[in-house]
Each structure stands twice: as C-alpha cells, then as structure tokens.
C-alpha cells in the first residue's frame, strides 16, 4: 500500500499471531514463486497458499481468491526454502481484552473508594459524638 506521506514508498506489515504464522508470511516475501503471486493490498498466507483481497473503501470489495499451492509449481518444497536473512523480525502479540473487564474493575474501585469515604465519615462523626 502506498504510504500517505510519499507515493514512492510503501507500507508493509508482516503479521502473524504465532511464530509459525510470521514464518509463513515472511516466506511469501522471500520465495520467488510465492512473491510473484502477491498482488493487491491485502494477502493472507497459510503454509504455501496465498489468498488475496482488497481493502480499499473507494473500490468495490474484491472477493478473496485462492491462488493455490506454490509447492505444486515447484519440483520440491525443500528447494523453495528461503535463504537465511540478516534481518530480525520482532513480533508483538496484542491481546484483545473484553470491554467488560475494565468496566467491572472500574466499578469495583469506585465501590471501594466510596466505602472508604463513607466509613471514614462515619468514624469521624462517632469520634465527635464520643467527645461531647
């Protein structure tokens, strides 16, 4: 996808929710056979299959198309193994939490704070009554 600040540059995200998923995505970029099948602005890679789709809102949504197995086009899957790369890829796993959890925790904290304020107020009023 062309970057918004410079049309000669691109934004590329290689994502996966496991180490194996990141390996599949990076293999699609390093394997010449799979790289030729990448087009558009969205691709899902599962093992040796590439599924393409479009994400642009201005154009009609493209139907996801399966391009098939890259291993079927090559004599053996072992010969298409990517060469070692000097770049390291850091994966940051983002956990999606339920929106209910922060609401419940906030409510619990407010109840505890309100209880502490009311308890302190009651205790101070008892101290004043005992002195009279």
Residue spans per domain, the chain: 1-96, 97-132
How far apart are the C-alpha atoms of 118 and 116, rounded to whole Å? 6
Q: Is the pLDDT of residue 2 over 80?
A: no
Which token pair is 11?
A: 């934004």
In percent, how much of the chain has pLDDT > 90? 14
Q: Is the pLDDT of residue 95 over 80?
A: no
Q: Is the pLDDT of residue 122 over 90?
A: yes
How far apart are the C-alpha atoms of 46 and 27, rounded to whole Å? 10
Please tell me the predicted confidence (pLDDT) of residue 56: 61
pLDDT per position as a tens digit, 22-38: 888 777 778 877 777 77
Q: How confident is the model at residue 70 (pLDDT cuts 50, 70, 90)?
A: very low
Please tell me the predicted confidence (pLDDT) of residue 79: 46
DSSP class of residue 54 equals -
CA proximity to 70, closest of 59, 62, 81, 55: 81
Residues 69 and 48 sit within 8 Å (Cβ to Cβ):
yes
Please tell me the predicted confidence (pLDDT) of residue 29: 77
Which token pair is 12?
A: 């590329």
Question: In a 3-state reduction of DSSP, which class is residue 64?
Answer: coil
Model confidence, pTM: 0.34
């Amino acid at each position: 996808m062309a970057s918004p600040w410079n049309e000669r540059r691109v934004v590329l995200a290689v994502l996966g929710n496991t180490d194996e998923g990141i390996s599949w995505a990076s293999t699609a970029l390093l394997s010449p056979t799979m790289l030729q099948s990448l087009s558009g602005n969205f691709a899902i890679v599962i093992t040796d299959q590439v599924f393409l789709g479009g994400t642009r809102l201005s154009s009609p949504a493209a139907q996801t198309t399966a391009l098939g197995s890259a291993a079927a086009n090559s004599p053996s899957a072992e010969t298409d193994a990517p060469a070692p790369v000097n770049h390291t890829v850091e994966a940051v796993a983002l956990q999606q939490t339920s929106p209910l959890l922060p609401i419940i925790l906030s409510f619990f904290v407010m109840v505890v704070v309100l209880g502490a304020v009311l308890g302190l107020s009651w205790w101070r009023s008892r101290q004043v009554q005992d002195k009279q």
